[in-house]
Structures are given as structure tokens and as C-alpha cells.
Amino acid sequence: MLNLTLQAEAEFAALQARGAEFLGTELAIMAGAMSWVSERHLVSAMSNAGGFGVIACGAMPPALLEKEIAATQAMTDKPFGVNLITMHPDLAELVEVCLRAKVTHVVLAGGVPNGPTIRALKDGGAKVIAFAPALVMAKRLQKLGADALVIEGSEAGGHIGPVSLTVLAQEILPHIRDIPVFVAGGIGRGEAMLGYLEMGASGVQLGTRFAAATESIAHMNFKQAFLRANARDALPSVQIDDRFPVIPVRGLVNAGTKGFMRHQAEVLGKFQSGELDKTAAQLSIEHYWAGALRRAVIEGDVENGSVMAGQSVGMVTSIQSVADILAELKAQAIAALVARAARD
């Protein structure tokens, strides 16, 4: 059995070597960038434990991001990344902040990054990671110069696309070989990580499990909501009228979710009666969730706030340290390899 374990450890190391080398880490496991959660404490803990932490810049102004990067660098000397939203009005300044701080990896999310942004980052010495929702986009991003891709399935928490990771992995992994591809969405155990590595992924990205980690600054009410939840409790937001689009966001169903449905119906009624024009109605719907994520994560209002969570939330059964989560994922992958070798 000892020989089988050593062989399994060597096989796992080989499977994830490309991703680990690209990230500069022991494990090819990235922590997803989660607004209000992925800040200095969780990011540094992730990197210190052998994974790869990522600061969620979100709507931060450049000065605030600069402070957050410096604070994170004071807590770890290991590589970590910064997630920038491509639609941010100060994107160029945020890029400069990252480059001045010698951030090793920048993740571009929330839209298709343009060539100049990618070139500016690469010319400044940073590695660029981009999100690819389909094979055609993966090929385009590779041509634009992205150094690595993340493919994220609809099982993920927060803002999601329409396609599951199971399908995306089959569509993209066989055809994108020249750059590393990390997979995300619904991953909660090491066996799943192993399966995607064997399909050709270079590593994985997890968010939900780390949102409830000991080092996460999320309110205890937020973490306890994760412990109570099952996969079926994490549902995408629902749009009731095609004229008023709602960007799907996966989170735990609560009073706020049900209130959003009522709010849409009320706004639709006002629009149909002429009380609101189309623009005002759309803004009213979009503003419903304003501040809702902060209310849940920071203030602990998990009934009315937005409790973003992926379908892997059912696998969050205890509040663990980041190091324990990473060790568990690795152990599960290796145990699966050992079991397979023993059967053979």
C-alpha cells in the first residue's frame, strides 16, 4: 500500500505540474475571486497554504486596490493574483496599480478583455488569465495573448453563464493545449479535481468552499447558511419578463430571493400601467440587489441579503482552515488514484 501511495502522489504531482508551475504554487488550486470575501486575509491564507489566492477588485477605486495589494503582500511572500473587471471605468489605472506592485498574475473577468489591456499587462511583466465561456472565445483569447484560461460552469456561485462545466470541459479541453486551462464551477472534492486534470485541465478554481473557511472574513451567519444548505438550495436568479433582462446570479434561496420575484412583478405592473417607462423600470429591477451582497457577507443578513453560493455548497460540512481544505482536496485525489491502482 505504501508503494501505491507513493506512486499515486507522484502521478498527482505530474498531473497538476503544469498548473502549479504556471501559478508558482505547490497545488494547482486557485481561489475564486469573491467580492467582499476575497481580500487580504483569505488571499494570503490561500497562498501561504500552497494554493493561489486572488484579490477581488470588484468596484474598488485604484487607491483602495493599491492598499489591499500592499496589505496582502505584508501577509504573504507567495504569489497571488488580482481579479479586475473589464468594465471598470478605471481599468487602465487598475492595471498600472497591479504592475507597480509587481503582481504576478492578473485575472480579467466580467467581459471580453481587449488586446491593449492584455498587452499592457504582459509588457509590464504580469501573466494574464481570462475567462472563456465557449471554445470560440477560448481560441480568440489565446490569439489575443492570454497566458491561461478559466472555464467556469453554471454550477458556480455568483454571476454565471448558461453552460455546465461538464459540457464546457468536453468542448474546450481537447482543443486548447498550448496554454493552461483551469476549470471552475461545482468542484468541492479532490476526486473531481483529479477527473478534470485527467481530461486535460491544468488545475481548478474553487470559491464556495473557501468562502466558508476559517480565514474568510464573511459573517458567521453567512458561513452557517452554507453549512445548512444543500446543492438544490443554490439556485440562479429568475427573470419573469424578457423585456427586463436579469443577469443570472446563483445564490441560496431566501426571503430576498422571493422578494426579488415580487419586486419584478410589481415593476412590470407599473410599466404596463404607464406609471414607469422602460428605462425607469429596468433601473428599479437592477437596483433591488444594490448592497445585498455586503449585507449578507459583512453584516450577516442572510435572509434579505444576497448569499451567493455554488452548487458545491452541499459539500461544505464544517468551517475549516484553508490549509485543511487544500490538504483534504489533495488527499481525496490521491486516495482515488490509490483505489484505482489497487483495483488494477
Asked if pLDDT for residue 332 goes beyond 90, the answer is: yes
Mean pLDDT, the chain, whole residue set:
96
- Percent of the chain exceeding pLDDT 70 equals 100
Question: Can you tell me the mean pLDDT for 25-32?
Answer: 98
Distances (CA, A) of 327 to 10, 57, 98, 115, 116: 16, 27, 30, 38, 39
Domain ranges of the chain: 2-218+318-343, 230-308
pLDDT band at 290 (very low <50, low <70, confident <90, very high): confident
Asked if pLDDT for residue 252 goes beyond 80, the answer is: yes
- Percent of the chain exceeding pLDDT 90 equals 97
Question: Can you tell me the mean pLDDT for 272-299?
Answer: 94
Q: What's the pLDDT at 1?
A: 66
Instruction: Tell me the residue ranges of DSSP E strands in the chain.
Output: 29-31, 54-56, 81-85, 105-109, 127-131, 148-152, 158-159, 181-184, 203-206, 234-236, 249-252
Provide the CB-side half-sphere exposure for 32 (13 A, CA): 31
Q: What's the pLDDT at 57?
A: 97
On whether the CB atoms of residues 76 and 39 are closer than 8 A, the answer is: no
User: Cα(first)–Cα(last) distance of the chain, in Å?
Assistant: 13
Asked if pLDDT for residue 86 goes beyond 80, the answer is: yes
**CATH placement of domain 2-218+318-343:** 3.20.20.70
Say which residue the cell 481548478 belongs to.
Answer: 204
Question: Can you tell me the mean pLDDT for 256-282?
Answer: 95
In 3-state terms the chain splits into helix, strand, coil percentages (rounded to 5) of 50, 15, 40
pLDDT band at 42 (very low <50, low <70, confident <90, very high): very high
